[in-house]
Structure formats: C-alpha cells, structure tokens
Amino acid sequence: MKSMYEKLLETAENGALTESMALQLLKGARDPQNALKLFALASKVRDRTLGMDFYWTSGISQVIPCRIAPRCLYCTFYARTEFPPEKLAKTAKKLEELGLKQLHLSGGSNLQGYDKEIIGMVEAIRAVSDIDIEVNLGCSFSAETVRKLKGMSMLSITSSLETINEDIFSQAKPGDSLDMKKRLMETCEREGVPIRSMILIGLGESEEDRIRHLFYVKQFTQLSHLNFSRFMPYPDTAYKNHPRCSPWDVARTVAVARLLMPHVHLGLAAGNTMDDIPLWLMAGGGNQVGAAYVSRMPPEPGAGEQVIKVDEDVYIKNRMPVVERYLEGMGRKVVFERQVTRNL
C-alpha cells in the first residue's frame, strides 16, 4: 500500500500541488527515505523537461561598488572600486576564448539607480564579444533601462529577493528594499525580459516562508532561473554567529521547486561549494553550472583548478575540469551551448 507521502508525489507529478501539499513534501523530506523518493521524482522531471546535458556559465562579481546603506548585516561586500568597462570587455573576451557562451555580471547595488553604469558595461562588452550576458545589480534599474537592456539582447535580469519574509528581510537588510526587488521582477515580466532570481536558505526563514517564496516567483512566466544560496556566516559581520545552513535544507527545497517549476533552471549560488553539486543534482537541480569565476585578487587554485591572469588585477579561476569530472561521475556531460527546453 502506498504511503501518504507517495500519494503526494503522484499528485506532484501530475502538476497539481497546492501550497499546503508542497509544504507537506518539504517537511516530509526531513526523513531521508521520503527525501530519496522526492529526489528521484524531481530528477525525473528535470531530465524530461530540461534534458540530460548541463551547460556552462561564467561570472564576474564586484563589477561596481555597493551603495546599499546601511549595509546588509550578513554581507562582506560593500563599497569598493568599480571594475573598469575596458577591463570587463577584456575579461569577457578571454572567457569567450575559453569556449564559454554565457557571462553573469553581479554588483553592488544602488537604490538610486545604476542605469547609466550598466548600459556602459554592456556596451563595452558588446564592442568586443558576442557572449550572452546576464546582470545582477539588485534593484538598480528603471523600467527604461530594462527596455534598453532588452534591446541589447540581454539574456536575463536578476532580482534576488533572498527571502519573502518581510520581517527577516528588514532585519538582515535594513538598507535594501524588498518592494523594489519585486517591482523589478514585475517590470521584467511586463517587458518580456527573462528573469533570474535567488532564494537564500538559512537566513532564519521558516519552511512555510520557503514555500510562499516558491509560489511567489512561480507566478512569473518570464522566470528562467532560480538560484539557491546556502547561508554562510562570515567573520566581522553581525551574523557571524548565525548557524551555517545545511546542504540538506537546500536540497529539499530545490526538489520541491523542481516539481513546482519544471522548466526553470535551478542553480547553486553563494555559500555553496563544488562538493554540494552531487546532492543538488540528485535533488533535481540544473541545468546550468558555473565554469569560471573572475577575481580582482590572485585566487588560490583548488585541486584541478586553473588560474588565468587577464590583467594586473584581474584573474579567472577556471573550474571546468573539476566540475566536469563531478558530473561525468554521475552520468552527465556539460556543453557550452544552452539547450532548448522541452515541454512536458
């Protein structure tokens, strides 16, 4: 006889999950036996909708100073010098020479707007490279800039809500605006611009908050990516004693998200490591994986990683050999071209 959990999974496979059912799935997956069944279904749905192959992306962070004040209490990133557009262009060209087809630019943020700055960055890259560009500078863009970026063939615009719980958001991010982040998503939806978003697991939210968050972003037809950050307490921040998030909590949430949003790419963001990839893959994560990251300081290469010097203060950490080995060990291959998704 089938258990109540197995019956819930049958309902999920038929695409009929309510918020209360999704919450039961998430809570029930605290039990590893239930979780294995949930992960198996989530992986099946991913393979059926997004295919078996994964594809590479790359990232340049700290492209512009963060002007959020007061600063987010858990964050070590604050006002620093701007990444000069000419160096951005040179770096993008180098990433393209590695075979990479996609680049993610991430901030700093500025509630007063970074409209002129992002247009300048994209124009500089476009002058030398055809690499696809995604941007994440918080809620720094006006509707006019969203339309301009759409005209520049932007692959997506990111609005990282992090948490849907307003009290937790305002406590951890007193200078930021959840309402402005939501409005940016709404603007992208109206303008027909693909949306990337992010949920931060372990900031203090409840499981109910996570499900509300998933159902909130699910409503956006333009949502193409939802990334999952795993909370990491950093020294010298007010949240230095806040507990580190378990990878199990991330995996359970990814699996439920996969059942709710079969065609959305579910990625790993800050706080995760390459060692989180196998559990994420089992839980239905995919199909985008990070290949290379850019640093302004000489990075220490991990085992199997390669550091490429682009300029006196610009370095690429190439992780492709390591990530490729991880995924190949689980029967997957990684390609440079993004695959077209298929309908259920």
**Span 14-70, pLDDT tens digits:** 888 999 999 999 999 999 999 999 999 999 999 999 999 999 999 998 899 999 999
Q: What is d(CA 106, CA 293) in angstroms, rounded to the nearest whole number?
A: 11
pLDDT of residue 21: 97
Q: Is residue 145 part of a domain?
A: yes
CB 306 within 8 Å of CB 98: no
Q: Is residue 174 part of a domain?
A: yes
Q: Is residue 9 part of a domain?
A: yes
Q: Is residue 342 part of a domain?
A: no
Q: What is the pLDDT of residues 147-181, one digit of tens each?
A: 999 999 999 999 999 999 999 999 999 999 999 99
Q: What is d(CA 73, CA 238) in angstroms, rounded to the nearest whole number?
A: 5
Per the model's pLDDT, the better-predicted residue between 300 and 116 turns out to be 116
pLDDT of residue 206: 98
Q: What is d(CA 297, CA 313) in angstroms, rounded to the nearest whole number?
A: 6
Count of beta carbons in the 10 Å neighbourhood of residue 235: 6
pLDDT of residue 14: 86
pLDDT of residue 79: 53
Write a three-state SS string for 246-278. CHHHHHHHHHHHHHHCCCCEEEECCCCCHHHHH
Q: Is residue 340 part of a domain?
A: no
Q: What is the pLDDT of residues 57-108, one digit of tens each?
A: 999 988 999 999 999 999 987 657 788 999 999 999 999 999 999 999 998 8
Q: For residue 247, give its domain range.
A: 4-335
Q: CATH number of the domain that 238 lies in?
A: 3.20.20.70
Given a cut of 50, whether residue 342 has pLDDT beyond it is no
pLDDT of residue 16: 86
Q: Which residues, at least 6 apart from 303, have a Cβ–Cβ distance to it below 8 Å?
A: 322
pTM, rounded to two decimals: 0.95
The structure tokens 């089938």 sit at 2
Q: What is the mean pLDDT of residues 250-275?
A: 96
Q: What is d(CA 179, CA 212) in angstroms, rounded to the nearest whole number?
A: 16
Total tally of structural domains belonging to the chain: 1
Given a cut of 90, whether residue 326 has pLDDT beyond it is yes
Q: Is residue 130 part of a domain?
A: yes
Report the candidate in 158, 58, 139 with the shortest Cα–Cα distance to residue 104.
58
The structure tokens 């998704």 sit at 341
Q: What is d(CA 325, CA 329) in angstroms, rounded to the nearest whole number?
A: 6
pLDDT of residue 303: 86
Which pLDDT band holds residue 2 (cuts at 50, 70, 90)? confident
| % pLDDT > 70, the chain | 97
pLDDT of residue 308: 95
pLDDT of residue 78: 63
